[in-house]
Structure 1
Amino acid sequence: MKILSWNVNGIRAVARKGNLQEVFANVQPDVLCLQETKAHPDQLTGTIRHPKGYFSYFSWAEKKGYSGVATFSRDEVPSVRKDFTEPHFGDEGRILITEHPEFLLYNIYFPNGKASKERLGYKMAFYEACLTDAVGQVDSGKNVIICGDVNTAHTELDLSRPKENAKVSGFLPEERAWIDQLIDAGFADTFRIFEKNGGHYSWWDLKSRARDRNVGWRIDYFFVNEALVDRVTAAPILTDIYGSDHCPVCLELR
């Protein structure tokens, strides 16, 4: 099974460029999770809203052109949630939790905390609600996959300039500590199962053409609970796919 996660920075923009269609045609994922879609479903038409061979699920913010996630699955899912068990975090259209035969898939666009102390506080509360929800599902006997734009680089290996960004949201100690907590709770960062070195990123600043110089951050992840680790066969970062300031990340399961 192949699952892709991609912050597209606007689903309509990436479709206009043809990159979204290329992913469906060339990568052929079983499930595609998109973040920062910046669209209500009624703003989408044709194969953007209903790609051939896939069922489509959306969550969106009331504010148009902001946030939003979408999950496209080859198989119809029996249930979808758009919030955590601790409610009110679904208001910004950041959460899609779909039920699949052998796991729950959390497609999450985690908040950015750079705008203000209040937004950083919201981000940390969102983190805690996600962790509580996911651990509760594992404790109940279910497998869980968490994917999306986490908006935090975990360690100094995960961004080009850690010292310069030590006091910037996205690399603050409390943000990084949450990923530690997630791992301590039994979830594995699947990319790090296969790659222990730095220099591998999933987001680059467009204005400075940072991608050309590979000056980036790894802030897009797949986490799986312990029972799924042995089923993970690959977790690459697909840096050859363009169209956004992020590139897709992938999870393959046996």
Structure 2
Amino acid sequence: MAVSVCTFNVNSIRSRVDLILRWLTEKRSVDVLCFQEIKCEAAQFPTEPFEKLGYHIAVNGQKRLNGVAVCSKLPIERIKCEFGVEVLDREKRLIEVQVGDTVLLNCYVPRGGLEGEERHAYKMAFYDALTDYTKALLAANERVVLLGDFNVALSDLDVYDTDVFEGAVGFLPSEKEKLNALLATGLGDCYRRLHPDDKAFTWWDYRTAGIWRDEGMRIDYIFASQKACEFLESIAVDLWTRRRRSPTPSDHAPVIAEFQHI
């Protein structure tokens, strides 16, 4: 039976929980939900409504900022929230779980800043450490899915207008280089595997109402090891939650992949 795996930057889980529950009950069922930017500690995560839908929950949260969580209808067999690397553990941006035969690493990469700024250096160091960790993870596990908000649009296909994003955070050559290095560890971009030439964005600026003109970026990804990619059946961006006026949406849309099994 196919298993659906979703990545979704919710930009505050407590602000978005009603919208997410409507989506899950009215629009589509999802087996494994990987949330980023939950903006709460584990104790404040709204576990009860997700448990009522049959989810097991793992949270690596942080007060008011960052934070990641996994809600899975399949049993979560192992949870890892500390990675033993200062730049990875400085802020709550990673959670690793074992679901079935697959290791899922849910990631919220720092947004960063312009070159020369402290936040840019942090983002570069985070990518280097994440790449090293991913190499080890792939060496130890055949089936790995690395997903989340990577805060980089990798190619010209991943932005609506290259001129608009030239020199902007999220489209800098140094950022693309780091994301390509991460992929070079042995990961495939699931969306590009099935849609090599399509434009489909996952983030649109609140301030410009860009969602209504599809003026966005693709910065949320589902990457998978070669073995995991063999089970990939479909992948798409679901715009239902983003095109809401009420409840207020996140500025991101969820990306959902279907695997034959995990």
* TM-score under structure 1 length normalisation: 0.92
Q: Which moved more, 1:134-143 or 1:199-208?
A: 134-143
SS in 2 for 1:164: helix
Whether the aligned pair in 1 keeps the contact of 2:142 and 2:227 (CA below 8 Å) is no
Q: CA distance change for structure 1 residues 55 and 230 in 2, over 3 Å: closer, same or farther?
A: same
Distance 1:141 1:246, change over 3 A: closer
- Name the structure 2 match of 1:102: 101
Does structure 1 conserve the Cα–Cα contact (< 8 Å) formed by 2:130 and 2:182?
Answer: no
CA contact (8 A) 1:203 1:216 kept: yes
Aligned pairs for 1:7-156 within 5 A: 7-15=9-17, 18-25=18-25, 26-45=27-46, 47-48=48-49, 50-61=51-62, 64-114=63-113, 117-156=117-156
Shift of 1:185: 2.2
RMSD (Å) for aligned C-alpha atoms: 1.8
Identity of aligned residues (%): 28
| Displacement of 1:231 | 0.7
Pick closer, same or farther for the CA change 1:123–1:179 going to 2, 3 Å. same
**1:120 positional shift:** 0.9
Secondary structure of 1:78 counterpart:
strand
Q: Does the 8 Å contact 1:60/1:92 carry over to 2?
A: no
Q: Say if 1:68 and 1:141 are closer, same or farther in 2 by CA, change over 3 A.
A: closer
**Counterpart AA for 1:119:** R
Deviation digits for residues 15-66 of structure 1, max 9, x if unmatched? Answer: 2xx21102332322111011111112322446346443111111112xx211
**Contact 1:84/1:129, CA 8 A, preserved across alignment:** no
* Contact 2:83–2:89 (CA under 8 A) maintained in structure 1: yes
Greater Cα shift, 105-114 or 18-27: 18-27
Contact 1:58 1:70 in 2 (8 A): yes
Residues 102/87 of structure 1: CA separation in 2 closer, same or farther (3 Å cut):
farther
Change in 2 beyond 3 A, CA 1:174/1:88: closer
Closer/same/farther in 2, CA of residues 51 and 37 from structure 1, 3 Å limit? farther
Q: Secondary structure at the match of 1:79?
A: strand
Distance, in Å, in 2 between the alignment partners of 1:82 and 1:236 is: 28
Residues 156-195 of structure 1: matches in 2 within 5 Å? 156-195=156-195
Per-residue CA distance 1:124-180 (angstroms, 9 max, x = gap): 111111111111121124321011010000001101122232211201111111222
Distance 1:217 1:36 in 2: 18
Residues of 2 paired with 1:208 and 1:100: CA distance? 39
Q: TM-score, normalised by structure 2?
A: 0.89
Shift of 1:117: 1.3
User: Could you say if the C-alpha distance between residues 43 and 85 of structure 1 is closer, same or farther in structure 2, counting changes exceeding 3 Å?
Assistant: closer
C-alpha contact (below 8 Å) 1:94/1:110 kept by paired residues: yes
Q: 1:134 to 1:85 in 2, by over 3 A?
A: farther
User: How many residues end up aligned between the 2 structures?
Assistant: 250
- Letter of the 2:253 partner, please give it: C
Larger CA deviation: 202-211 vs 172-181: 172-181
Map of 2:245 onto structure 1: none
Map Cα deviations across residues 180-205 of structure 1 (whole Å, 9 max, x no partner).
Answer: 22232221110011212343100000
Partner SS state of residue 196, structure 1: coil
Moved more, 215-224 or 52-61: 52-61
